[in-house]
Every structure is written in structure tokens, then in C-alpha cells.
Structure 1
Amino acid sequence: MGAFDALGIANSALGAHQTWLDAIADNIANINTVEPTSQTAFQATYVQFGADPNGGVEVTGLAKGDPQGRLVSDPGNPLADADGYVRQPDIDMASEMGQLVMAQRGFQAAVQVTKTAQDTYTAALQIGAR
């Protein structure tokens, strides 16, 4: 492990967690998106992670949610079909909020690792300068 590997690993974690946070934000923002039953529902995005061969973590893919979503009775909606149904995404707010907390904590941990590594490298440089 090289002297600056901790920064590279923390940087990869920052990028992965930012992608995760962006996906969660998009899912939450579209949780009430309504479509006619003749169309597909908004598909939630789920981030897939894997180990980076150089250390750290990387986004290996983005999975999409069910395009069928769920049918909701909303006869007053202008998009409702003849039976009064509309299509909404199959997104669970409680699950998204749990994912949000985990993504935030991971991002915060990566930021702290970056700060600690920078402080350590600065202290080492000051020792060598004396």
C-alpha cells in the first residue's frame, strides 16, 4: 500500500456514495409520479457496487425497478383509465429513507478518512522539514 492509497480509496468511496445519493434522490423525487395504465411506471434506480481492482469501491452497474409499478385507484386523476386506475412506481419510501441514511453515513465516513489522511500527510511533511 502506497503512501497516498488512503486518499485514492476514500476518493473512490466518495464517488460511489455520491452516485448512490443521486439515485436515491431521484427515486424519492419521483415516488408520486403518475402515468396512465397504458404506459410504464417510473423505474427506480438501484446502484450496484463492486471492489475496485486498485483498491476501494466502484459502481459496477445501475439496476432499474419494475416498469409495471403498481396500479392505484384514482378516478379523479385526468390520467386515469376507464376503471379509474393510474400507474405509480413501486418505490417504498421507508426503504429509500433507510438507504439514504446509509449512503449519507458512508459519504461522511469517506470525507473523514480524507481529512485524516490529509492531516497525517501534512504532519509527516512538517516532521521532514525540521
Structure 2
Amino acid sequence: MSNLFKAFDVSGSAMAAQSVRLNTIASNMANAQVGSPTAEGAYRSKQPVFQAVMEEVSAGAGSSQPSSASVRVVDIVESDAEPRLKYEPHHPQANDEGYVYMPNVNMVDEMANMISASRSYENNVEVMNTTKQLLLRTLQMGQG
């Protein structure tokens, strides 16, 4: 039964990681049209970096074995792709030559990433609901 409780931990950590991913995507999309007069000042797309964390339990005699895993966000990295250079002489952020540096955010990629993150989040909600139902049925079996 304790393994069922570990499923809550795994799903909960995955939901937290996907929440960070969704917030990062939202930030990318919100800044997709923010121009800058310099390449250094242009917004750059960001992506979270996930890491699987294995928790070990002692198996006796100095050995250990993995007992459960979880997911955590270890970093949020900026894209190294160059910003797009766009000629817009009347833009308030245009440089002396009339160019604006636009973020390297691809809205199609961000939308696909958002759908993937949403589905991953939903899948983990389903895992938690299924685990809850299994625990409830186990308790009902003990009562009857």
C-alpha cells in the first residue's frame, strides 16, 4: 500500500514540473512581440530543464535499491538562437537604422509545447485519481 502513496509523490512532482513548463511557455508567448533596439536586449525563448530524481532505500548489508522517483526542474535555460532582425523604422524600439530585434520565439513551437505540457499535466491528474480510487477500493475490501 505504501507504493500507492508513492504514486502521489511522483505525480505531484511531475505536475509541479509541468506547471513550471506552462508558466515558461506563457512567458515566451507574452514576450514574442516585444522588440529591442539591440540584439543583447531582445527577449530570448526559455525552456525548463527536468531531472529525474531517484530516492533510494536501504536494502540491508550496506546496499540500497531505488524506491521511487520524482521529477524536478533544475534550471531554466535561454535559447542561444539569434533574435530576428525586422525593418520597422516607425517602431518605438527601432535603432538608428530602423531595425528592431524581435524575440526568437516561434509561436507554433510554443503552442505545440503548451499542448504537450497540458496533456502531461492531465495524465498525472488521472494517475492521482486512479491511485485514489485504488486506495478507496482497498479500504472498502478491508471493511467488508
Give yes or no for TM over 0.5: yes
What is the deviation of 1:126? 1.5
1:50/1:20 CA distance change after superposition, 3 Å: same
Pick the structure with more strand per residue. 2
3-state SS in 2 of match to 1:4: helix
- Are the equivalent residues in 1 in contact too, given 2:85–2:99 (CA < 8 A)? yes
Question: Which residue of 1 is the match for residue 95 of structure 2?
Answer: 81
Residues 6-58 of structure 1 deviation map (CA, whole Å, 9 limit, x = unaligned): 11111111011111011001101110011112751112210111111230222
- In 2, Cα distance between the equivalents of 1:78 and 1:58? 40
1:101/1:122 CA distance change after superposition, 3 Å: same
Structure-to-structure mapping, 1:63-78, within 5 angstroms: 63-66=77-80, 68-78=82-92
**For structure 2, which runs of at least 5 residues remain unmatched after alignment?**
56-68
**Given the alignment of the two structures, is residue 60 of structure 1 paired with residue 74 of structure 2, yes or no?**
yes
1:24/1:128 CA distance change after superposition, 3 Å: same
Residues 41-99 of structure 1 deviation map (CA, whole Å, 9 limit, x = unaligned): 11221011111123022212110123852221111112211211011111111111111
- TM-score normalised to the size of structure 2? 0.83
Question: Which residue of 2 is the match for residue 47 of structure 1?
Answer: 48
Structure-to-structure mapping, 1:1-130, within 5 angstroms: 2-37=3-38, 39-54=40-55, 55-66=69-80, 68-130=82-144
Aligned length: 130
- TM-score normalised to the size of structure 1? 0.91
Q: Which has the larger radius of gyration?
A: 2
Amino acid at match of 1:119: Q
**For structure 1, which runs of at least 5 residues remain unmatched after alignment?**
none
- Are the equivalent residues in 2 in contact too, given 1:42–1:67 (CA < 8 A)? no
- In 1, Cα distance between the equivalents of 2:133 and 2:4? 13
RMSD: 1.7
